[in-house]
Each structure stands twice: as structure tokens, then as C-alpha cells.
Chain A
Amino acid sequence: MNKKLSRRQFNQSLMQVSALGLASSMPAISHSRWDLNWFNDEDTHNERWLSAQGREAKDYSLGWINPQEPSSAQALAKFRGHGLCQNPITTDQVLMFSRRPGTHGMRLNIRTGLIDGTFQSQADRYMQGHGCYSADGKWIYCTESSISTGEGKITVRDAETLEQVNEFNSYGIGPHEIKLMPDGYTLVVANGGLLTHPDSGREVLNLDTMRSSLTYIDSRTGTLSSEHFLTEKKASIRHLDVAADGTVAIALQVQRAAMNNNELVSLAAIHKPNQSLTVLNAPEALMVKLNDYMGSVAIHNDTRLAAFTSPKGDLVMFWHLDDLSLQGYHVFHDVCGLAISQDNQYFILSSSSGKVRQINAYSLKIDKERSLNFPKKSWDNHMISISYKRT
């Protein structure tokens, strides 16, 4: 039953949580009013923007923004998070996965603002940073790696208990972002091709032999449906998004140290069913500015535009998925987080200085009236936009 908590009731609930030794999962309101409007179940706009956040270990948390107020809040994580995903059925559940080479994940109930579950990699496994739910919301697929062999793995967890129940190959090394295709059962995986080991942190151990791939895997059987490679072997496929028609936009990072030339490499590409990978081009000066690094990608289905962010180039770039033309770009320092607003009107951009900007998806102009600043927040690499149902 839905009910609106009074401030007293809410404070009492916090005290109970604290008494249970779960103080770390309390929502820490940092930029919002204490009137708890963000917590109001009668709120008709249940849109939230979520991101790993925090600059230092003591601050690492899952942070979120209520864009209507606007306000922000957070739940401490005790690990540096990276990718997030929302349960498509139980829509108040959101997962955050460890940044590589972490081993922890957590589930947040966005309605209560409390962490209601955690999970950990099994022995000989560590996380690669991303995961997604199955279409029925019952399973979680997470990109991980074998410590002993370096093989990429997709672990399968029960979405309710968070227990690992299965595992299959990612058919590559260093799987990073993973998403579900519109058919509801095929997983598309960005195998970055970069071999790392927890003992050596984030150092890439196979620069000479690296081979990145985009793999499609049947989640029902764990079998490989198809795999695709880029011409440039030192381009690492790291992030992706999937359009409603199954077009996949991929963001790349070039391992320049492994190259013996300084030729420009496209950092954005798309893949359409039954076609080969196609790179997206831009004027030389813009491509140079990207510094071999794209950090995130999001597709706006109505306009068929894919946005790509480059924090090392302070740029967001927009390409059309069909004619492959560059439609525009926007300068924003340290931009990385990227999502589509729930009203489908805006690309949402975030930076680690706590800034949030909104670019109209149709005009590609910034709407300065909608800019938000949360100086005490440090939005990490990825942001997702969700709306959740009242239960």
C-alpha cells in the first residue's frame, strides 16, 4: 500500500535502519530540502537520474538526482561504482556494479533510497563494470573476468536473491558494457580486448595482442550468435547502446601506446543486423580533440541520433544512425555521464564537478534554463535516467 510518510515516521525508520547496523545505506541528503518531497509517493514525476559518484573512497556512493525539484541524494556504497541498470519490471530496483577490478555490486530501492541487497564476485572472478537485467526482470547479467585465465565471463544472477546461478563466456577478453537486444534474449557485449589482472590494477597486459570484439550471445543458452571486429586492432570496444530497431552504437578507446603511428582512429561506430561494423567520422580537429577516448554512448530513438561523450576531449558528439552524418557537438568540461530524459526531449550530460546539462534532442541546443549544479557531487563515468512505478 502506498502511503506518504511523515517526517517523524521517516526519521524513525532511519533510526531503525541504523540500529540494524545498516547506517551506510541511509540516504544522505546533500543538496536537497529536508522536507522529503523527493520521498513523496504521490509525486507524479518519478524520474530520477542515477550515477556512481564520489571522488574519494569514503564518499563512494550511488547518487541520484530528482530533476523536478531539483535535488540530489546518495546511498554510500563503500566501493567505486561504474555502470548501473534498472529492473524493467520491478522498476524501483536499480543495480550498481563495481568499476574494474572491483568485486562488489549493490541494489538500491530508489523509492525508499535504501540499499536492499549486495552481491560479490565468486572466487577467481572480478567485475568489469557493467550489467543488465533480463527482459522479465528475473535475471542479472554481469560482465566479469576470470582472474586465472583472463577469459571474459557473463555471470547470471537471480535478480531477487542476487545469488549467482550460472555463467557463460563473453567470447572475448575484458568484456565491459552489456545490453539486452530488442528481441528480449540476445545479449550484446563489448569485449574491450584488454587483459588486466587485479594484482596489477588497471594495467593492460596484452597491448601487443589485444583484439576487441562485439559479440551477440543467446542469454538462454550462452551460445555465441555472432561476433564482429574492427579493422583497427588497437581500438577497444568499451561502451554501447541499442536502438529500438537493434542498431548498436559503440564507443571506442584507442590504445595509442600500442600503435606505431599517430593516424586518427574513429572512436564511434555502429552495427546493424547482418552488416559489418561501420565507423563514424568527423572533422579532423574534432577527432583529434577526443584524445583517443570516448566514455559513454546513448541513443535517442525518435531522432535516430547517437550521442557520444569524451571527457578527455570535453566534447559530446551527435551522429545520425542512418546517414552516419555528424549532426553536431557540444563542449562540456569533463563530460562523461549520458542519458535520455524520460520525456524523451533531452540528452542529459553529467560531469565530475557535479554539473548536469541538458541538450535538446531535436535542436541539439543546450537548454541553459535546465542546467543543474551539485557542487558536492562528483558524477562518475555513467548516468542512467529512470522512472519508476508506484507500488
Chain B
Amino acid sequence: MNLSRTGVVGFVIVVAVILQVAVFNLFSVNGVVPNLALVVVVAAAIARGPQFGAVVGFSAGLLLDLAPPADHVAGRWALALVLVAILAGRVRADARRSPIAGLATVAICSFIATSVFALSGVVLNDHALPDGEMMQVIGIALLWDVVVAPVILPGLMALFERTRPAELAY
């Protein structure tokens, strides 16, 4: 891929992660903030398919895992976001049919990503919460993501469409 296009995609990922950590804690509900990185990954997967989505998901996830103040085992968000990128990439033809379908995709992906992250924490015994609290966090996170998705998802999808390489890749 062309260097400047990669730069644009990388910039979007970095901005999403920094907004999530440094700005959105103003609006946090019980500490839960909108997962912008997740919306970026879902937009990438819907716009460009699972292959591109998985790469964006891995990069955004690893940045979330490594950027301060993250303290959990690295790779947990990367795994969660790669999995939702695969899912969103699989259903992308449906997800593009209507805004509601896109929103539903974000909701399902939010639920799955936070759940996968939580379960990996339970398996690794890394910052695991009691079940009740965990379900509450997953629920609030889903609501947040559904609230921010209509605002940023169309723009992000248009951006990823535009950064598609002009030449045929096959």
C-alpha cells in the first residue's frame, strides 16, 4: 500500500486511541468511555473487507494495549479487535445496506470485543472483575458505541473507501 495512505490510516488509529484515553474520560459513565478504536476497526472492515480490517484491528488493538495507562497483558485488545474485524468483514455486504444495519454491526461488534477482552482477562487472571460488574461494563460500553457510531461511522467508512488503492490488488 502507498505510504501516504498508510499514514492516513495510522493517523486515524492514533487519534482514536488518544481521544479515548485523554479526552473522553470527561464523559465517562462509571469509567466506561466510547470505544472509538472499535468503531474505526468496524468501519475499516465494512469498507474494505476482513483482510484490511484485521490489519487495522491488530494495529489499533496493540496501540490500546501498549499506550499509557494500559497495564494489562499486551495483545488482549489486539485479539478482540482482530476477531470483530473478521466478523464485520464477513457481514459487510449486509452492513452496508442501511444505516440501521451498520449500527447493528457496531453494537454486535462492541458486545463481542468487550466480552472477548473480559474473557481473556478471566483466562489469564489479569484484572478480572466480578461477573455482575463485567456485564454492566459490557452493557454500558455497547450503549456508548451505539451512541457515537452514527456520528463517526459514515465519515470513517468514506475515508477508508477513499484510501483504497487505485490499482487492482489481485
| A and B interact physically | no
Chain B residues close to A by CB (< 8 Å): none
A interface residues with partner B (beta carbon < 8 Å)? none
